[in-house]
Amino acid sequence: MFSNSLKYSLKAISYLAGHSSVNRKYGIKELAEKTQVPAPYLGKLLQKLSREGVISSLKGPHGGFYLSPENKSKHIDSVVYLIDGEDRFKNCILDLDHCNATNPCALHKYYAQVKGGFLSQIETITLGDLAQGTQVLGPLA
């Protein structure tokens, strides 16, 4: 359901939510090691997220990526739509062009229920909420 780009982005943001601050920033290499995401790929994703204001970054010797209090108040739908686009969740789960409410595929009615619940959830979960799941990625510092 999620692209690798979205999975990697959410892993990195989850880690940053639980570990970073204005005083503790992470470089791409260190964050890639912590999240087990390929560094070059992660770098491009983090730059895009930073450019769009979803996460914060600071250049220079003491720079890196982090989540500010403002970033933590953003909802994860901003990440989902920025990385995967809104169409990914509006389209047929089987990628059939002709699937719609009047001409549904075999999974249409089941996916519609799941999709509706998912889309309403991502509008309420904040990036800061993702800190709750950081135990999987390592203990809080």
pLDDT in tens, 99-129: 988 999 999 988 888 888 888 889 999 999 9
Three-state secondary structure readout of 84-123? HCCHHHHCCCCCCCCCCCCCCCCCHHHHHHHHHHHHHHHC
* Interval 63-105: pLDDT, tens: 999 999 999 999 999 999 999 988 777 788 888 989 988 999 9
Q: For residue 30, is it within any domain?
A: yes
Rounded mean pLDDT, 26-44: 95
141 is a domain residue: no
What is the span of the domain harbouring residue 128?
4-135
Would residue 56 count as lying in a domain? yes
List beta partners, residue 58: 64
Report the pLDDT averaged over residues 53-68. 94
Write down the pTM of the prediction. 0.84
> For the chain, how many structural domains are there in total?
1
Mean pLDDT throughout 10-39?
A: 94
What CATH number has the domain bearing residue 69?
A: 1.10.10.10
Q: Tell me if 16 is assigned to some domain.
A: yes
103 assigned to some structural domain: yes
